[in-house]
Amino acid sequence: MKHSIRFKLSVLLAALIAFTIFIPWFINRTFLSDYYLHCKVDKLEDVFYKVQDIYANSKEEIFLAEEDTLTMEKLSSSSDVNIYVLMSFAGAPVSSYPHPNDLGDREQYQIQSLIRDYMSRNANSKNRTVIEECENYVIYRLYDSRLDANYIDLIGLVDGNKVVFLRSNFESIQESVNLSNQFLGYVGLIAVIIGIIAMFIISSRFTKPILDLSNIAKRMADLDFEAKYPINRKDEIAELGASINILSDKLQKTISELKKANNELKNDIQKKIEIDEMRKEFLSNVSHELKTPISLIQGYAEGLMENVNEDEENRNFYCEVIIDEANKMNQLVKKLLTLNELEFGNNQVNFERFDIVQLIKSVLMSTEILFKQKNVTIHFEDYGPIYVWADEYLIEQVVTNYISNALNHVSGQNIIEIKLIPRGNVLRVAVFNTGQNIPEDELDKIWIKFYKVDKARTREYGGSGIGLSIVKAIMNSHNRECGVINRNMGVEFWFEVDLT
């Protein structure tokens, strides 16, 4: 069974208190009676020698003077010892102290019996046990069966002819020992109970910070570093808490750095994979796009070499096809270089303030001849100056690509409409052309390099499938959006720039 540190500490402290109480109780119960007896014997010996001194200094032969009698009474009272002194006078025993008139017949008989025993050295009788025997006195332990009482007696000689009889009630000693042991037992039991309660409370306060530290450590193991140990004390636990807080901060910082490095590594790997895929796709698409013009150039060039057509007009046609395909290849390479610079961030975006209305008008003027050739109607309101914040050269490419794309796909009513729509802090530029809608499942794909909705028609007008990819890259470099919407009568391409 698993026990908490609080339980173990409480049990340990309770056992320590119980042991501390048990030791003095055991010693008291085992040795206190003998110790009291030893002290009583020492007291009797001390009283005996004091009585000896009193009689040695007394000037009276038989009875003590009043002053010495008072001293003897004080000695008897202070030591809790009965003192009797007898002597032989005219062949009969006489009490020198206390006065014979103060002794009863029973006491005189008992004292005389003890004196006879002492004189005959017949101390060890049935009810009498010698405790200590010296040259001048003998100390007995006496049991009085009639009174069921125990005494400690001392009988000795002083001043040559006087017998001293000292008696201490041993029952009082034994009773004191029993009462002391009983009292100590009660006190010990109460102390153990109070100690257990106190130790549980104290151990709870002592173990609480340890449990708090344990919980913090568990949360750290689960990578939760929010919990911190409050430092509101000055001891070893507070130092441990401070160390755990420092460890938590360092672990959090280290793990964050590792996660950051891991994410950067993942991004680098992902970017490398994407770059490799882009290279493969680029090579595949470029090879595909260049295959047709190269084949045409090669075929017409071989025809010229072999003089397939001898007339001047056909030879000029062959040369025009070769030049046209070469121009297409040149435009394709330029667009690829532009797109590459935009996608890899090599093309620096130079933000400046310019009038986008004037920019659109300039593009429309440069392509006016194409509108006339295709009989296209342009709708563009006469907006006043609208200033935006962007790269003027790159935005011009976006507008040009949108208008060129509209020219290449306009049909039906042959209308191209350009609208400027303010939206808070941005301006949306929308280029609409009448014609067929783009299939919904291909709306997101038209921004991919070399993707063509109608490959035959794209080849017809010389498209490469890169123009919209360039638009997407330019808007990404501006951190702005672009998109396409199928309208009721056609398609609308749009992009957004910041207003100033």
What are the φ and ψ backbone dihedral angles of 491, each rounded to 5 degrees?
A: -130, 140
Does 178 or 73 have the greater pLDDT score?
73
- Answer whether residue 488 shows pLDDT above 80: yes
Looking from the CA of 302 toward its CB, the CA atoms found within 13 Å total 5
Q: What pLDDT band is residue 3 in, cutting at 50, 70 and 90?
A: low
- Answer whether residue 459 shows pLDDT above 80: no
5-178 and 348-499 agree in CATH topology: no
Secondary structure (3-state) at 481: coil
Alpha-carbon distance of 332 to 350, in angstroms, equals 25
Contact indicator for 25, 169 with CB cutoff of 8 Å: no
CATH for 5-178, options being 2.30.30, 3.30.450, 3.40.50, 2.60.40: 3.30.450
Contact indicator for 150, 140 with CB cutoff of 8 Å: no
Residue 10 burial by Cβ neighbours in a 10 Å radius (0-12, 13-18, 19+): buried
Length of the chain, in residues: 500
Alpha-carbon distance of 229 to 220, in angstroms, equals 12
Alpha-carbon distance of 352 to 386, in angstroms, equals 13
Does 493 or 201 have the greater pLDDT score?
493
Q: What is the pLDDT of residue 419?
A: 95
- pTM, entire model: 0.43
Nearest one of 204, 202, 228, 206 to 215, comparing CA atoms? 228
Could you tell me how many helices (H) and strands (E) the chain has, helices first?
11, 13
Give me the amino acid identity at 214.
S
Q: What is the pLDDT of residue 45?
A: 92
Under CATH, to which class is 348-499 assigned? alpha beta
Q: What is the pLDDT of residue 376?
A: 94
Domain positions in the chain? 5-178, 348-499
Contact indicator for 421, 403 with CB cutoff of 8 Å: no
Report the interhelical angle of 236-305 vs 170-221 (nearest 10°).
10
Alpha-carbon distance of 258 to 62, in angstroms, equals 111
Instruction: Indicate left, alpha or beta for 425 from its phi (over 0: left) and psi (-120 to 50: alpha).
Output: alpha
What are the φ and ψ backbone dihedral angles of 450, each rounded to 5 degrees?
A: 70, 10
Does 472 or 161 have the greater pLDDT score?
472
| Least confident window among 219-223, 396-400, 439-443 | 219-223
